[in-house]
Structure 1
């Protein structure tokens, strides 16, 4: 039996009736952020469609029988390393009555046992034990031809690149490296060029639509405007050098800011950013110390992989951000912080201190979730209205425009294609 034979492939519902305003992605109806039927179709067309979804890092499950619970869209999954070291991802839903099987977030277990009726599954998701299989005192039990092999947990295809684990429901999804392409592979290779060590996790619940966060991570335009810490201490400035790129399908995006030593940023002065606050200083200036991990001058690197992964380097803090949709107006953001296995004690301390820059209460990133919730609250009754995405011009070169909204427009074009949404009247 193939990995996917046990996965029920859903019949796609019809595309939601949404008057998609334009083919160029410059107008996005607010109702794609609010409608439950849109969210439901996303689970079919995207998360159970021909995409690879990030689920975990191999460093989180280094030993045989290690596991981590995760999500593909709103579907709970278990990411597991079997006794032979192979990686497996299977739906965290008992084949008996549909109960959640593994309720711990991570651990080491030879068997995953459903608490309801004690059906037990091994690290490959195979059913290995059923209580009272032959009945008790001649009563109960299963038929003589009951086959354990026919009742395992639904398995997904699994692939890993540089220790970053992805899974897909679809047998038609292209190989992972073909799905990512350059320069996304190069961005992953750079940050995972050495063995890593997981330092910890944070998670937060955001009362907004998951796609608003996907937009946010493809938007360098807001960084020096929304984030007062960036502007006040000069970490991200509008006059810095930027470069990046996308895959050929324009689903993913990667971008870096480079050229300056961030340790000198606080001396750069006000460059007409209205968030610059001259009388602010750091009680602990060592927050902005540390030493570069690479010799390429990059101070900030943000890589956004469709649908729900962000990989970051902000100075010395390294992390993955997993966007986990819960409802049309609700998602969880799950941060996994890491360093390198050969870090010395001082560097580990720096990474942990700089982790305060990001996360739910991060000195930089706390405004992102607030901005998303401000949008969600304001658009709830005006779904027919549209967002306006023309900064940088509609003819901007996507591979060169690292300040405007070209990557966001490309994201929406890819999304609309997967969802089967077409411009009203076929216009552009």
Structure 2
């Protein structure tokens, strides 16, 4: 019988609230480890290495999205594909044989075209670029392996997860499951600045190892919405149901594109820094057609076709979350061995008798004006006295939050009901 390894891939927190970046945010970003400081964020070699994995990560994001929407067709969806991918890639680092091949193929890699070493190097450089100090986006992202104190991880594994995945290993007393659970929950609470207080509700008696993956992201709109403009309005969940929301509005210049073939409007709203949100509004009754057409080529076409024009945009204030059983979803993607008695995770401890018992991911999204009235006034575009076209996100829409430098999808979601907690 295999010992059990719950893989809790958790915690994407997207937080967009504070009016301005404080000094402490800036300094805490700058005091990150020295290997990040040595790395110039826009180093050509690092970007080249990332490009080995970003297309597969993007494919994975859409495959995962389809799994999520199949399981809950009429619910909000929100997750961090880059976060899930990095945690399973770390698991692949400790896997061997078929277990490893299944994980990497599940993540969208073609192992005849891409060597395992290139995949891990790609993630290493991607994590460096995404979390570089001095960025105007506050992002902390990492992986922690909680291991029973009687298990000894291999030195090579420890060295590799530190170097490649900014991972850490914490020795835990899993014989006392209450104590271990508290330690893991406290660790995540600390890493996500108190945004997620509980990731583990209970621990199996046979648990020997838990992997926690977290991402905490905080960004500020390049042009904040004026708080005075926010008003009550209706969001049409479906033909029969409408809910009251707080609708933000702004009249300004945005990059937009009307995709006639897919019957949708695309609006890019930039954050300060290298990150932008793509809001995609399908015409009535066209959501399914849009979802079926989601590929990296579609998104690439949108990004290339965007043109700056003046619009009046309406977006609901949001606070939603998504929680996913990754074990179930990855098994549907063909990743089965690591969850069974056939698991070979001998790259972690040197022993083959460990398996993954469960895997979870939780992501939060908060969209807010994040500007004071004063800041909103200074951020106003100079506008002529004509009436611009209106784009109103008052029915289900898709959202992609993309790092513009590496073209990585930080977050992906479908907003079906902004009031659903």
TM-score by length of 2: 0.23
Who wins on radius of gyration, i.e. which is larger?
1
TM-score by length of 1: 0.23
Q: Which has the higher helix share?
A: 2
Q: Which has the higher strand share?
A: 2
